[in-house]
Amino acid sequence: MSFRGSIQTPVRAVGVESDGAAITRVFWVREAEEEDAGEPDDLVREALAQLDAYFAGHLTAFDVPLDLGRQTEATRAVLMTLYDTVGHGETVTYGELAARSGTTVPARGIGSIMGANPIPIIVPCHRVVAGDGLGGYSGGREGEGLLTKRWLLEHEGALPTALF
């Protein structure tokens, strides 16, 4: 059984799904999905409350059980290394995360793993940057991935606020 709910954020509506035991998905809600939000369970309500506190600037670490679903060992190691070692207000490069994870995944592969992260924001793929800039990001409003990534990093104090 799957449970679902969503909240509005400054960068786009965010949805959360659980299987009743763990959060299984965080996603950027498209307008059509907003009408079919589903029923939240206590776990979804808790995750939404934590996301709301994060976006309000009151939460720096999430504390909900996670289930990354079916992943390769390397993908799971990379995502959990990110979750466990890159805190609020910090960034790590794709190459640094590759080395830190203890896998043989190259930096380019780290980018692909970040793009397929099933639990963005909570597993903070926005904190992974290129050695020479922000890198990529697929979250937020259509076509505004890098603006969303910049907003999230500025919100956490990991980047100086843009002047314009």
> Would you name the residues annotated as active-site residues?
125
Query: Of 97, 101, 88, 89, which is closest to residue 131 (Cα–Cα)?
Result: 97
Radius of gyration of the chain (CA): 15
Q: Give CA–CA dist 153/140, Å, rounded.
A: 13
| Residues ≥6 apart with Cβ < 8 Å to 57 | 155
Task: Name residue 17's beta-bridge partners.
Answer: 4, 25
Neighbours of 3 (CB within 10 A): 19
